[in-house]
Structure 1
Amino acid sequence: MRHNSGGLSLKPAFALSKPNRFSSTFRIALLSTLFLPLHSFSSSPVTQYDKVVGKKTLTVVGVEGSSTFFKEDQFLHGFGYDLARAYANDLNVNFKFKTASNSAAALDMVKKGQADFALTTAEPALIEKKSLIAMDISCGDQKTLSQYGLSTHLSWSFKDATDPIAATANGFICSNKQQGTLSKLAAFYDRNVMNKTAQQVFYRDISKRLPVYKASFQKTAKKHQLDWHLLAAIGYQESYLNPASVSPTGVTGLMMLTQGTAREMGVEDRRDPTQSIQGGAQYFRLMLTQYNHIAKPDQVWFALAAYNMGPGALNKVRNTVKRKGKNPDSWVDVYQYLSANSKANPRYKQCITYVTRIRAYLENIKQDQQLARL
């Protein structure tokens, strides 16, 4: 490891998205909703918004995909998932996430009242066929989604455009867009982290080396209650799964442990793959424990950042973020600060590159293992 020593929280702004390919009926309905008197929201019948606030739970159904979410052994993550979770945090309610096998099934769950909205990349024609209304998840900024390789069909689908739940969701998205948070979250989930050449090298290495160490990753991950795909992704970032790797500073082994860390983790031979994986897993578990109060997946990203730059350095960054009025427990807020100051501090750039690449490797390893089972 080369080191040296939960969600967005924005107040809803009832701004409408720019004209786009989504239903004009939705935009008109939202506009009408915004000008309703406040007492209209509390009159009968009870709105979906009232139910969410009353039960203190926002229920979202999604279809797994590269722009929506990834379902790992230990946690869910993804651009669409993180955004939906952040909306629940903004409403100050619990977040309940359900999965569906396809877009039609997810939309049906919304229609039947089994979810408050659906997170999908469904075509507009299918959403209209289900008599639902789609909200552009980018607030008209589809260029940003496209820039980072995210689907421009990504949307939240609601049952009723006139319900305040849709209006507040639209305001939340547009507020995030205006403050630049939406683009930073998209940047973190950039689908273009690995170019074609890097992908070829990655799959070549994975096909040859991962089978050799897979059992060790799985056994060690189970012992420390970790996702073995994540542990393998860390190993690939550190050494390309090469136990003979040595850095210019003398860090060595499959998990690239320093002498001090190896000694603390009880590793006698850093070049021994099994010992190195054990030591790396134990140290990463310690990093995770420091951020137990933070919900996944943010907890994982913070632990990775600490694994790379050291917990002391990361906590200094988080304290600075807090002084600036942002949430130090929100990965996107911390990521935004690191990114904005990366030119002045190379360690910040190294950290966000480190975490982003591991996120990309994790998703590709997971997909590779899924394909292998087919």
Structure 2
Amino acid sequence: MKNTFYIFIVLMLFACGEERGKVSNDLPDILKKGKLSAVTLENSINYYSDDGDESGFDYNLAQNLADHLNLDLKIVVAKSVDEITEILYNGRADISLYKMPTTKMIKQNFIVTNVEALSNMVLIQPLSKKRAKYITDLVDKDIYVHKNSKYHKRLMHLNEEIGGGINIKFVADTLGVEDIIYAVSKGKIPFTVADNDVAELCKKYFTNIDINLAISVVLPKAWVVRRDAPQLDSAVNEWYANLHKTSYLNRMQKKYLEKSNYFDSFSIAVPRGKISSYDELFKANAKIIGWDWRLLAAISYHESRFDPNVVSSNGAVGLMQLMRRTAANYGLNDSTIFIPAENVKVATKYIAYLNTKFEYITDVDERIKFVLASYNCGYGHIIDAIRLAKKYDANPNIWERNVAKYFALLSDADYYNDEIVKLGYFRANHTLRFVKQVLETYKSYLGK
């Protein structure tokens, strides 16, 4: 209740500010700027980054809207629903492409568009005969969610409704909702909570979970715009009505709501006999750096799915997704970079170089995490995170809950504006997931 009250006060203060002559930011102003700024949360349905490629059902709709209006699209990623409201009010975004619950407070402070859906929250639990069937079955149970998230708030209200007893536990902000659901499917935690649409998508990939216990009523949710943007609202509604006359919505629903490449890296089926057609390359090169060859294979799987011809939207190439500039430093050109043997050879040399940068980390398993992160996003961002870890008395030689914590905070202005941060803003979610999933895949390849 405290957080809800705080947000209510924030909204009222902003509303008062608008009445005192706040500059409008409606469609004519947006068209003049040539850019539509959209705020969202990162998840498998709304928006996510896959090896630099921006994806997601709502992201693609927003891109279609921006193209329709002849605008560039800028994505602002928030950490919570509360932060979305603040970002919209302070003018850092024009529209929320994360569908907001259309509560009385939301309707009072925003214009609700026609881009809407129905949703409720459900419990995620292991599929078993002993699963919880009623809300009261959750007494004395541990349910894991992000602190101060809408799921946390719903569980607090639920505790009030049933007289207490639900043990609310918190997970790291670096984990996505899907990561937490995956942890339930792997038996690492007993329960979590998610929106039913995310839960239904996850269920298609994590088949050993149960999502049948609703813990909230069904409510409409929708894209919203600022109250000073009625023309933008009209333009969105007109565009959306016309979109229904095409096949675009159906195509996006099949692509993102019936299945999603977001989950490609979660469940790894280890082939019998060999992992890939390039196992001998991985074996030969891994010896050079003293790594298990299956770790190189795991990197290749997550970087390219073992496709030697793939080129990402940010220009990474081949089996190991080398950047052309890095490859050129090791003698490759635009043709030879695609040759699997050359691509893996240079990637291994680059890994060896990164390994020397972290030689002072004596725990080899820890050092590998730093090397993997640097390989994925660049050495400089990891050094920025290490500087922050040192400043705030975290252990600069430990990844989890130490350097990884401050790496995630490189998207927070209070941290990336620090003078010790040399490369500035960085959204770390993809790299954090990359490190975690490469190591999980490696363990799968080992048969652990």
Work out which of the two has the higher radius of gyration on C-alpha atoms and give 1 or 2.
2
Q: TM (normalized to structure 1)?
A: 0.45
Higher helix share goes to which structure? 1
Higher strand share goes to which structure? 2
Q: Comparing both chains, which one has the higher relative contact order based on Cα–Cα distances under 8 Å and sequence gaps of 6 or more?
A: 1
Q: TM (normalized to structure 2)?
A: 0.38
